[in-house]
A and B are shown apart, each in its own frame.
Chain A
Amino acid sequence: MTAYLRPRSLAEAVAARAAEPGYLVLAGGTDLMVNANHRPAPAGLIDLWRLPGAGEISLDAERGQLAIGAGATWLQVQRHPLVVRHAAILAAAAREIGALQIQARGTIGGNVANSSPVGDSLPVLLALEAELELCSVRGTRRLPYREFCTGYRTTALGADELVSAVLVPVAAPAVRLFWRKVGTRRAQSISKVMAAAAIHLEDGVVRRATVAFGAVADRPVRLAGVEAAVVGLAPAQAAEAARAAVAGAIAPISDVRSTSDYRLQVAENLAARMFSELS
């Protein structure tokens, strides 16, 4: 029999996590339940669904950060005015996750902790230079999202930790955001390629850009080569420089959903598009 714990506060949740490191953490269950048929029942579950306060979304004006509780569902994320205003591409990604039923149940914390190479929000968090708030009985720490995902479905999350919030810096008005999901179909679709970028354009040239891709490697990736190649260039030249820099930067695989050639070609096209769109 699987034991079932339903903590009523974050404190209770981290205490449960510390006491039962072997139990599975359950949020919306939209990742967990898919595989339930194919693996042995867990010893126990710690159910975070509707944990009070876990889905709150607020603005930390002092830090200039949007704080999104890990328990926020994709429906809450996409509809929240603060997200729409300050992190529009996160709202856009949220609208393309699964479809309405999944968005009503799946959480941002689940997407982050599950850390699938095709998790749709992950390149967005990279491009926006988000941080995570991680909690345990030992205390709370902040970690740049960039350092969280350490490999194929592996993360820096401690065995006693929970993801408690996603912290997204509020983008400066001059920063232009780009997001594109290329999936197998229009909804309920696993990504073949995702591209996200935050581009700071000043006086008609790119000052700084953060460029991230998903589904093209064993984990979501920032492409430093592309970011370096575009600095100081006008959009049209930046587009060509970005296209050229993608080829050496990623080596996507072929699988039942797509081919490496296709993923690379589309990644090149989107790398160019995120800059050519600026002009």
Chain B
Amino acid sequence: MVQAPPAPWIGASLPRVDGISKVTGRARYLDDLPAAGAWHGATVRSDIAHGVLEALDFDPAFDWSSVVVVTAADIAAQGGHNVIRLIQDDQPALVPVGGKVMHAHEPLALVAAPSRALARAAAAAVRPRIQPLPAVLSAKDALAGSVALHGTDNVFKSFLIRKGHREDAELERALASAALVIEGEYTTSPQEQMYIEPQAMMSSWHDGRCHIVGSMQCPYYVHKAMKTLLACKDDEVVISQSVTGGGFGGKEEYPSMIAAHAALLARKAGRAVKLVYDRDEDIAATTKRHPAWIRHRLGVDASGEPVAIDVDVVMDGGAYLTLSQVVLSRGVLHAAGPYRCPVVRVRGRVVATNHPPHGAFRGFGAPQTTFAYERQMDKLARARGEDPLALRKRLALRSGDTTATGQALTFSVGTDAVLAAIERAAGPPPQRAGRSLAGSPLRRGRGVCFYFHGAGFTGSGEARLAGRAAVAVVLPSGAEAASAAPVRFEVRSSSTDIGQGSITMFSQIAAASLGCDPQLVRVIDPTTDKVPDSGPTVASRTCMVVGRVVEQACRTLRGRLEAWRAARGPAAESLSLPEVAAAMARELASDGKELVELVQYEPPPGIVWDDDSYTGSAYPVYGWAACLVDVAVDLDTYEVSVLRCVQAVDVGKAINPVIVRGQIEGGTLQALGWALIENVIYKDGKVANANMTNCIVPTFADAPELETVLVEEPYPYGPGGAKGVGEIPMDGPAAAVANAVEDALGCAFDSLPISPEKIATALRQASARSDGKAGVP
């Protein structure tokens, strides 16, 4: 038996499998796909945040015979259910006449026409008549409860975590015993994912099946939603992911809505229909990061040791539940921070408003609560006159400690390594005062933060999902066969590459586990009739969970191949693994069988979670990170420049270090944007800045020098030791920026974004308070 070489493919920065096709423009996104004869769809939306749809009036001057119109009535007429199936079946695909309009960008009707221009003209010729109702336009209004949108209290879902106490009075006693209590109130803004490719879907009905292809993260979410909407069986809908230009969570749940619309139009039109959103429609109608309102109390004893933490988290869920309860759950589970504390209470509520539903976005609730707890830690350091990094070192969770949910941490805790990395990288703090190139006075400051991010689904989520993936041996066919091409190892999973590099990562894991060249591995495009359900492409789980399944499938296959070779004695000994695979696959093929290994995810042992008490192992493992930010604030314009941003992130193992650094740098810049400039502005429930001119994200000119330190504390149950990396870089930098701005200016900024406008106001108030004598330190 030839001994396999060590797995050189884990930890190698191989070029992206999809890299060349993307940089040369050969990759075809949905709108580039050939669509001869396809019609174009357009969506008629409400522009009133809350009301009753009394009628849809059709302009008699328009020639309706040239287009196809779909309303809610068409869904029922075909036996379908007018819902976008997710957690609760509360969101309709189209508001029926007589039904409630719940937000200002809600779909009411659809049209399709031979050209996009005609489809748009038709959509504009549909005039919804809506009787307005009083709208709820903030989480605070929702809690005040004067208008009931959901139940009697507008609370979609609430969570409660208690550690070290049974009743509120005990918590209050603990806080009362504290020598110092830091109290803070924090708000964070909605954020747009701003993937480069707007949302797009195409549908056609043929061979008795509904086919949907489009830009998405989760083919099986769409599959499940379509089965209900269209009253179809499993094999009557086929969902395929097209090359997808970014998602960041924005293509987690909303694609089901667009798929629904495309499928309904295609069915009625009797031809393929393409539904491609314009940027403005995409920004207005699709999901954003949940705005949050967080109150936090942190009590410490005279030595600075935490005695109690109390956090109250309120998120604005928008008009329908969608994924809000899961976002809230993650937010709540991270809210106490990676710090030891004997008594913790975290309360969370997500409420109904008449905003468009807020949804998944990288970090998924954790960035909001991380901002709050890392501001709190900084205020504690300031109040005690303690070095902010030293404070974090003193209080941070380490192996052997327990989290707020009572989870004992036993492995892969990168606390010391990431904090040490930040300390090493820090260098001297920036000089406080200076002048910009333009001659304006500057104030500089430094901020740090320490944070963690649970990888994979919460609690028992992964066990419930039971994600599967397969590896199959595919024999060369056609011209390939004639040229004696080797076999291919085909990885089949529903995990989507949305730009994060998962195809390349899977190729490396498969090659390493099989002991073959990555060139022989092909990760096929996710199509629901060809790949098993691996679970959604979310929650930093693709590498850690699905990658693990791929690793195991490949290892099992390799075991079978080696056994096959061994059984054939010395004659087979010299055969290479691909040759063995070819021979074995041919043998099976003659019996009409495929050589394939399908594996289902097995959660690691010892993961026990109780949904009722919200205690136990919230996540199988955590990523750990620390961040350092230096800023300069221009005192003429109040603009904040990030001079430097260092992130040290414990990723378990970087399967492909260049891709991992790319994830961290991209997530960091997204976080800096959220900290300083990004915002979705609602006016009367409508997005007032639904274009790229005013809904801004950082450009390269705004990007500081990004320094990334990879820390590898292997996770024993991840492929090659890897754990999640996709989301973690988004969580911390906003707090680090706020801490740095406070260090520079001496004023606290607890509301995101920290815009120049807010800084100007704060400095004006500060100088008014001190009679204009003392300005900025």
What residues of chain A have their CB less than 8 Å away from a CB belonging to chain B? 34, 37, 99, 180, 182, 184-190, 193, 256-259, 261-262, 265-266, 269-270, 273, 277
Contacts and interface: CB of A to CB of B under 8 A. Distances in A.
Contacts of B439: 273, 277
B637 A266 contact: yes
A190 B701 CA distance: 14
Contacts of A180: 438, 636-637
B693 interface: yes
A187 B702 contact: yes
29 contacts: A37-B278, A180-B637, A182-B639, A184-B677, A184-B696, A185-B696, A185-B698, A185-B701, A187-B699, A189-B696, A193-B637, A256-B688, A256-B689, A257-B694, A258-B756, A258-B757, A259-B757, A261-B761, A262-B638, A262-B761, A265-B760, A266-B637, A266-B756, A269-B635, A269-B637, A270-B636, A270-B637, A273-B439, A273-B636
B699 A186 contact: yes
B701 A99 contact: yes
The 8 lowest CB-CB distance pairs between A and B, nearest first, are A186-B701, A187-B701, A269-B636, A262-B757, A186-B702, A187-B699, A256-B689, A182-B637
B764 interface: yes
Contacts of B67: none
B56 interface: no
A99 to B, nearest CB: 7
Interface of B: 278, 438-440, 635-639, 677, 681, 688-689, 693-694, 696, 698-702, 756-757, 760-761, 764
B694 A190 contact: yes
Contacts of B635: 269
Contacts of B639: 182
A193 B694 CA distance: 15
Nearest to B120: A37
A166 B160 CA distance: 67
Nearest to B693: A190
A124 B636 CA distance: 19
Nearest to A186: B701
Contact of A261 (B636, B689, B700, B760): B760
Given A182-B637, A261-B760, A256 B698 contact: no
Nearest to B756: A262
B765 to A, nearest CB: 11
B760 A262 contact: yes
A256 B702 contact: no
Contacts of A277: 439
A256 B701 contact: no
A135 B689 CA distance: 38
Given A256-B689, A256-B694, A262-B756, 5 more contacts: A184-B694, A259-B757, A261-B757, A262-B761, A266-B760
A185 B702 contact: yes
A260 to B, nearest CB: 10
A187 B699 CA distance: 7
A89 B317 CA distance: 48
A271 to B, nearest CB: 10
A16 B756 CA distance: 47
A185 B695 CA distance: 11
B677 to A, nearest CB: 6
A278 to B, nearest CB: 10
Contacts of A258: 756-757
B153 to A, nearest CB: 32
Contacts of A256: 681, 688-689, 694
A262 B636 CA distance: 11
A273 B688 CA distance: 34
Contacts of A273: 439-440, 636
Nearest to A183: B639
Nearest to B699: A187
A1 B639 CA distance: 47
A8 B286 CA distance: 47
A197 to B, nearest CB: 13
Contact of B699 (A185, A269, A270): A185
Nearest to B690: A256
B284 to A, nearest CB: 13
A185 B760 CA distance: 16
Contacts of B702: 185-187
A261 B757 CA distance: 8
A185 B669 CA distance: 13
Nearest to A272: B636
Nearest to A274: B439
Contacts of B761: 261-262
A265 B698 CA distance: 24
Most A-side CB within 10 Å, residue of B439, B636, B693, B696: B636
Nearest to A189: B696
A202 to B, nearest CB: 21
Nearest to B641: A186
Contacts of A270: 636-637
Nearest to A273: B636
A189 B677 CA distance: 12
Contacts of B440: 269, 273
A261 B760 CA distance: 9
Contacts of B696: 184-185, 189
A33 to B, nearest CB: 13
B115 to A, nearest CB: 13
Nearest to A179: B438
Contacts of A190: 693-694
Nearest to A38: B280
Nearest to B637: A182
A246 B698 CA distance: 31
B581 to A, nearest CB: 49
A180 B694 CA distance: 20
B420 to A, nearest CB: 33
Nearest to B677: A185
A274 to B, nearest CB: 9
A170 B316 CA distance: 58
A187 B764 CA distance: 28
A269 B694 CA distance: 24
Nearest to A263: B757
A37 B42 CA distance: 14
A193 B440 CA distance: 15
B546 to A, nearest CB: 36
B164 to A, nearest CB: 45
B699 A188 contact: yes
A265 B699 contact: no
B389 to A, nearest CB: 29
A185 B694 CA distance: 11
Nearest to B441: A273
A182 B637 CA distance: 7
A21 B571 CA distance: 88
Nearest to A277: B439
A193 B756 CA distance: 12
B391 to A, nearest CB: 33
A223 to B, nearest CB: 17
A273 B634 CA distance: 12
A99 B701 CA distance: 9
B280 to A, nearest CB: 8
Contacts of B764: 265
B278 to A, nearest CB: 7
Contacts of B688: 256
Contacts of B638: 262, 266
Contacts of A189: 696
Nearest to B757: A262
B698 to A, nearest CB: 6
A185 B641 CA distance: 10
A16 B689 CA distance: 38
A4 to B, nearest CB: 18
A258 B637 CA distance: 12
A164 B760 CA distance: 42
A97 to B, nearest CB: 13
A99 B693 CA distance: 13
A189 B694 CA distance: 9
Nearest to B700: A187
Nearest to A264: B760
Contacts of A99: 699, 701
Contacts of A37: 278
